[in-house]
Amino acid sequence: MTNTVLKAIGALGLASSTSASSAVQMLGDMLIGQPEPHPVEIRENLLEETHDKVWVDNQNSAMRDTLNRQIFLHGVNVVYKIAPYMPTGMAGEADEGKFDPETSLTDEDIQDLKNWGMNFVRLGVMWEAVETAPGVYDEAYLKSIDKLITKLGENGIFTLVDAHQDVLARTICGEGMPNFYAKQVIEQGTYCIGKLEDKLVVPLLSQMDICKTIDSWGFRRDADGNPLIEDCQSQPFFKYYTSPESLTIFRAFYMNNFGMRDKLVAYWTEVSKKLSANPYVIGFDPLNEPSPSWTSLLDFVNTITPGHFDKNNLQPLYELIYKQYKEASPDNIMFFEPSQFPDEIGALGGYVFPLGFTAPPGGQKGSPFHVLNDHTYCCQLDANICSSTGEPKQSDAAQCYDWHVKRVSTRDKDAKALGIPLMISEFGACMDSEECVTEINQVADVTDQYLATGWAYWEFKNFKDLTTSAGDRSEGFYNNDGSIQHEKVKALSRTYFKAVQGTVLKQKFYTEDVELEGQKVPAGTFSAQFKASSQIKGETQIHVLVDGTPVADKKEKILISWYPHGLSADITTEDGVVAATAKVEGNNLSFTLSEDFDGKVINVNVTPKSS
């Protein structure tokens, strides 16, 4: 999950101020400019082309499947951050089928995800698991990953392959890159801001836990010399991002010190070569939450100037990685991430800057091989907003909603300026609470509003997450005793278009009863529009949670449903003509339009029956 140096900025004591926030936002907008939508070349036969894998429709900033239906992705993160770097209980393993509320991904777990409407997994394929010694790659691990991706795909779940990291390496209380590379960089000497500047400012900053070395925390060490996870978790992990060790390693990536950038590219060469042939791989995420670094005080000022880090550090790095993707397969799609800081600042009331990418890395504006990929957490908004419980308080709900709107709407403009779709691949990371349901509903509502390609909740289970603010509580779908967090699961299992015989114009799901124009709209109502295309022969599919009870009774059997008494569905043209009759099988509602409705706007309304 996130919460990186954003909270460290708040730790500097910057007070929340709307006027200050507005001033900084205006300054950033002047420096980088507001992005303008990029005109994309119109290809009249776009939907007549055949595709072997999911593809990017750059004309509509959308993604489509092999039947050319527009698809939306709802899913979860699955990132196992320590050895064995793979979920337990998988088919073919010694513990096959054994459910664990924290670590398993059994066949039944996968069936549950499918029943809950999940068609997407962002899967951590850890660099430290792939490269076990310099230049030595674990073929067996990648084969197991490939097998898992296939199992997910056979259940209708696409996989985004994620080079996940948080604070980079175990030797500095994080995970991601091999320890032997991290130690190689650290042994050559570290610094925080600049070699000269550190002598003046680090003594002061370290008193605020900024620029503090990992050794200075006094953590105990294990047999491998790594700080004990238990000790690392005694402090919020975002503090470690500001350590000289972390900043020095990130600096090595961007400047290729000690060949570290080349080594990251080599990792991706191996991974993309092994996994590109799998038809269920929807794309590759080159680096989770990349964090900036600098070489001096002046370079620090330049780097945190809005757009500078994206343009001058991330774009060149991503271009090298993208080249490896394309060499592995010309159809590979890059889901590239901006930084969480300085593109967003959770101080001064919170503001979001336009990105600095001049084009999708390695491609042109309007690229059919790129997706903009970002995260949103209310905890990023303020250093203290989640300090007491690890999740935002209900009293901050309005403030959180405004943050998500600001975050997603700005990234929507960025994506349109680049001519590509937008994906929110992390949000949530919350517990079994009313506050968690609110956070989920807010992010899902906003992504629907801006027709983002989809989202992925952090995360399905704990999977030994060492960089978390949850403590011993569960951010996953299950409590530690195996009981299901049914309100969370219900919130995530909202009704949505999975695949559409056309292009979606809008979709809205109501999570609570409301009154519109004097009419009651009950919770569970789904209202949407799309423009039909007779060139698309596949049926429209809508996820509807009729019965979300887990396949196996793990702890308690509770009906999880938006439609406990059934549902009704109306599919009509704008002038009220019935366009199709829907059928419901399990948690799937489907219908097919005839060629008579080609080019027409189709209204879809799904409502729960009262009894």
pLDDT, average across residues 453-477: 92
Give pLDDT, residue 473. 84
Residues present in the chain in total: 611
For 542-569, b where at least 16 C-beta lie within 10 A, e where not — what string? bbbbbebebeeebeeebebbbbeeebeb
pTM: 0.93
Give pLDDT, residue 190. 97
Residue 17's pLDDT band (cuts 50, 70, 90): very low
Taking only the tens place, the pLDDT of each residue in 24-75 is 454 455 455 656 655 554 444 567 777 889 999 988 999 999 999 999 999 9
pLDDT, average across residues 370-395: 87
pLDDT, average across residues 360-380: 96
Give pLDDT, residue 382. 82
CB 567 within 8 A of CB 610: no
pLDDT, average across residues 427-453: 96
Q: Which residue has the higher pLDDT, 31 or 386?
A: 386
Taking only the tens place, the pLDDT of each residue in 24-38 is 454 455 455 656 655
pLDDT, average across residues 501-524: 96
What does pLDDT average to over the chain? 91
pLDDT over 90 (residue 385): no
571: part of which helix (H) or strand (E)?
A: strand 567-573
∠ at Cα 466 (192, 549), nearest 5°? 140
Print the SS3 string covering 364-389.
CCCCCCEEEEEECCHHHCCCCCCCCC
Residue 11's pLDDT band (cuts 50, 70, 90): very low
CB 44 within 8 A of CB 428: no
Q: Which CATH architecture has domain 495-610?
A: Sandwich (2.60)
Residue 554's pLDDT band (cuts 50, 70, 90): low
Taking only the tens place, the pLDDT of each residue in 283-342 is 999 999 999 999 999 999 999 999 999 999 999 999 999 999 999 999 999 999 999 999
Topology (CATH) of 71-493 = TIM Barrel (3.20.20)
The residues of the chain that CATH labels 3.20.20.80 are 71-493
The residues of the chain that CATH labels 2.60.40.1180 are 495-610
Taking only the tens place, the pLDDT of each residue in 581-611 is 999 999 999 999 999 999 999 999 999 999 8
